[in-house]
Structure 1
Amino acid sequence: MIISLNELKFYKNFDELAMDVLDMAKEFVPERLIYLTTFTEKQQIILKLSEMNASIQIDEGMVIEINETVCNRVDFDTNTPLVFEDMSKETSLDDLRKAVVGANINSYLGVPIILSNGKPFGTLCAVHTDASEFSEKSIKMLQRIANLFANYLNLERLAYRDSLTGLYNRQFLYKYFEEFSTTGGALFFLDLDGFKKINDLYGHETGDLVLREVALRLDHFIQHHKGFAVRLGGDEFIVNLVDVSSKEEISKLADYVLSRLSAWDTQLKAFNLSVSIGIVLYPPNENNTLKLLLKNADNALYRAKANGKNNYQYF
């Protein structure tokens, strides 16, 4: 579950610490442009630069398709830095030659930044227009700096993530609506049907496995739609969707979520494990109060339960 840009905006002193990381790295590779990146499933985003460099075509906020970046070659599985001291001679980069030449980069060091859950956050990179060597000491020091930054990210992440499922938690949900509620969207309030029987008969360990699987399915869903998923607590979840264009579209998405959370193996199917959903829409450019939205969504959820479960109702 990837850290989103919205989440980073809530981290204390993120901009200041990111610049400190770049300044520290600059001490060990002083002639290079240093920058921090983060990844989504499909894109790389340039977060911070050590300084502006007119010779190198990289800017803060730049978004690059992940398959068109050198950082995509970094080995996150083994946490190994990627080093190219003369990229003009690297035949392995032929498919990226146009991008590398366009950025005017000929030497590159990319150090992986990996979160405690094993997921890649991004890279700490050092680049130059000319071919140049990277000493073993400088590589190791940038690795240590990247690890310190990852530790900071992990500590901040704990404040906004549910420890069991890795989804966002209630604190993130409230923080988001304090900052971004004017975007408008649709709030799904989900409650699992039949979950109590699983806990009673198989124990909380099995119940926790089910909750993690639900979280994985919701996270996969949200990666293909603009928004985020939250575990409120117990077997209650929130899906917040933004930029949804019509009630017809929202209904199709709700049908999909219902189908994904009712397809289980034989053992769980025996307990009719499914989900009921209460949906509330909220308009853009208005002061949408989360407390009222949750109350209205919960009202719709109650009617979905009363209507036989495994369905959704609008407020």
Structure 2
Amino acid sequence: MTTIFQELETYKNFDELARDVLDLAKEILPNQLIYISSISGTQQVILKISNETTSIIATEGMMLNLNDSLCRAVDFEKKQPLVYESIMEADSLEDLKNGLEKANIKSYLGIPISFVNGDRFGTLCAVNDKEKHFDDKSITLLQRIVKMFSYYLDLERIAYRDSLTNLYNRRYLSNFFDDQQETEGWIFFLDLDGFKKVNDVHGHDAGDIVLEDVAVRLQNFVNGHPDALAFRLGGDEFVIHFSRVSDMEEMSRLAEQVLERLTIWDPHYQLSTSIGIAMYPGDCTVSLKTLLKNADYALNQAKASGKNTYKFFEL
């Protein structure tokens, strides 16, 4: 399961509000199968679906390849609805028609759901096993419902995101760690060497730019590792969490990749990065507080050994 789906599990009242959205949508478009989906990367999952009895094959939790979904053409940039009143007459859907026919989908309305900053969340969709005309008034009302739902999503997101870097924050790390399955994992505790001097010499605006740049580099790194998430704890302290069973050799290789990404800076800044690494077992006997303390101890060892390196915590 990808990051956005994990994030949704921490949202308060999501199920209740999603159900309210579906109920309101059903008042506007009765006799339709209506669902809320979330999109992450190339994956789409149906989160909540209306209770309408229908011949259409769709269930909550269904995961789709976005390229095989009608929602692939939804315009998130312009926030425009996508309408197919007759699937079989749409020339642009030739590659999907066989699958849609098997699913008994004859018409489709998809409305983009985005966060306030423009990041896509997913779609509110109405599908029918018959051809259907979607009038402008109904579409406009559904767009207003989606807009209100987006405000709720954004408030939840703000609670778990660092305001400067948009990485997950300590609160989300705590919730995420508590919800982890009973398998072992790893923590990388990162600290920027020389960051205080950047603030003192070049000012806090320059420091903020550096932190934002670090966040981008770390996010790009974890994007290539589905079992990894990046967090900012505060100041110039960052964490990468790996949900995996692995050995020290592989973790060393990943630490070297992270250091490489954080090596090149403006020569006036004289920055580098030190990393402390700690592993936790799958029996959940180690608290997050203890784990971070262990990783911080290893981090201090890395700094004491010359910085720009990593150390493992060892008992």
Short-chain TM bin: over 0.9
Per-residue deviation, 1:26:
0.6
Shift in alpha-carbon separation, 1:99–1:205, aligned structure 2, 3 A: farther
Q: Is 1:301 the counterpart of 2:302 in the alignment? A: no
Q: Is 1:241 the counterpart of 2:247 in the alignment? A: no
Structure 2 residue identity aligned to 1:298: D
Aligned to 2:202: 202
Per-residue deviation, 1:202:
1.9
Per-residue deviation, 1:183:
3.3
Aligned to 2:65: 65
Counterpart-to-counterpart distance in 2, 1:32 and 1:52: 7
Per-residue deviation, 1:181:
6.2
Percent identity of equivalent pairs = 52
Query: For 1:201-254, what per-residue CA distance to the aligned partner results, in whole angstroms no more than 9, with x for missing partners?
Result: 221112111111111111121122113111000000011011243222211111
Normalising by the residue count of structure 1, what TM-score does the alignment of the two structures yield?
0.95
Aligned to 1:189: 189
Q: Which moved more, 1:165-174 or 1:44-53?
A: 44-53
Unaligned runs of 5+ in 2: none
Query: For 1:139-166, what per-residue CA distance to the aligned partner results, in whole angstroms no more than 9, with x for missing partners?
Result: 0111111111110011111111111111
Aligned to 2:90: 90
- Candidates 282, 286, 289, aligned match of 1:288: 286
Structure 2 residue identity aligned to 1:207: G
Give RMSD over aligned pairs: 1.5
How many residue pairs end up in the alignment? 311
SS at match of 2:57: coil
Structure 2 residue identity aligned to 1:232: L
Per-residue deviation, 1:3:
6.1
Structure 1 residue identity aligned to 2:126: A
Unaligned runs of 5+ in 1: none
- Give the structure with the larger helix fraction: 1
Counterpart-to-counterpart distance in 1, 2:228 and 2:52: 32
Counterpart-to-counterpart distance in 1, 2:257 and 2:104: 45
Q: Which moved more, 1:45-54 or 1:297-306?
A: 45-54
Task: Assess if the C-alpha contact under 8 Å between 1:110 and 1:123 holds in 2.
Answer: yes
Task: Assess if the C-alpha contact under 8 Å between 2:173 and 2:231 holds in 1.
Answer: yes
Q: Is 1:139 the counterpart of 2:139 in the alignment? A: yes
Aligned to 1:107: 107
Per-residue deviation, 1:197:
2.0
SS at match of 1:259: helix
Shift in alpha-carbon separation, 1:45–1:272, aligned structure 2, 3 A: same
Counterpart-to-counterpart distance in 2, 1:52 and 1:216: 43
Structure 2 residue identity aligned to 1:249: E
Counterpart-to-counterpart distance in 2, 1:221 and 1:85: 42
SS at match of 1:148: helix
Q: Which moved more, 1:3-12 or 1:212-221?
A: 3-12
Shift in alpha-carbon separation, 1:247–1:104, aligned structure 2, 3 A: farther
Task: Assess if the C-alpha contact under 8 Å between 2:33 and 2:54 holds in 1.
Answer: no
Counterpart-to-counterpart distance in 2, 1:262 and 1:26: 54
Per-residue deviation, 1:11:
1.1
Counterpart-to-counterpart distance in 2, 1:101 and 1:214: 47
SS at match of 2:182: helix
Structure 2 residue identity aligned to 1:198: V
SS at match of 2:311: strand
